[in-house]
Amino acid sequence: MNNPELERLYELKQKIRSTGMNPEANIILLDGRGKNIPNGVTYEVGKEIAFTLKRLNQGYFLVSGDGRISTPQMIRELTEALTDNGITVLYAGYNNPTPMFEIERARLGISGANITASHQSFEYNGLKLVFERNANGKEAEEELRQGIKLRGTIKTYNVQPSLRKHYIETLSGKVRGTRTDNHKGLVLYDAMQGVSFPFFREIADEKKIRYEGFRTEPDGFFSLTDGGPDPSRVGNYRIIKEAIPDLTKYGIICLVDGDGDRFSAAISSGLIKPPVLVVMRALHLRPEKFIAEYCLASIIREYLQNKGIEVIGVKRGRPSLISKTKEHKAPGAEIGLHHYNDEGVDDGIENAFEMISLAEQENIGKRIKEIEDGIRRFIPEIRVATQQNSKAIAEMVAEKYASLSPSTKDGMILEKDDYALYIRGSSNENKITVNANATRQGTLDGIVEGAFAKLSEIEPGLGERLRKKLEEETTKNR
pLDDT exceeds 70 at position 378: yes
> How far apart, in whole angstroms, are the C-alpha atoms of residue 81 and residue 371?
53
Whether residue 258 contacts residue 219, with contact meaning beta carbons closer than 8 Å, is answered with: no
Higher-confidence residue of 229 and 326: namely 229
440-458 in b/e burial notation, b at 16+ Cβ within 10 A?
Answer: eeebbeebbeebbebbbeb
The pLDDT confidence band at residue 298, using thresholds 50, 70 and 90, is confident
SS3 28: strand
pLDDT given for residue 408 in this prediction: 56
Q: Are 258 and 68 in contact (CB under 8 A)?
A: yes
Per-residue model confidence as pLDDT tens digits over 334-367: 333 234 554 455 689 999 998 998 887 778 889 9
Per CATH, the number for 41-161 is: 3.40.120.10
pLDDT digits (tens, 9 = 90+) for 419-452: 778 888 876 678 888 888 777 667 777 778 888 8
Fold classification of 176-374 is Alpha-D-Glucose-1,6-Bisphosphate; Chain A, domain 3 (3.40.120)
**pTM attached to this predicted model:** 0.80
Class of domain 377-476: alpha beta
Q: Which residues pair with 388 in a beta bridge?
A: none
| Cα separation, 334 vs 147, whole angstroms | 26
Location of each CATH 3.40.120.10 domain in the chain: 41-161, 176-374
Say if residue 121's pLDDT is above 70: no
Sequence ranges of the chain with CATH classification 3.30.310.50? 377-476
Mean pLDDT of 35-49: 75
CA separation for the pair 320, 279 (Å, rounded): 20
Q: Which of 58-72, 243-257, 285-299 has the lowest mean pLDDT?
A: 285-299
Beta bridge pairs of residue 187: 211, 252
N-term to C-term CA, the chain: 31
pLDDT at residue 453 is higher than 50: yes
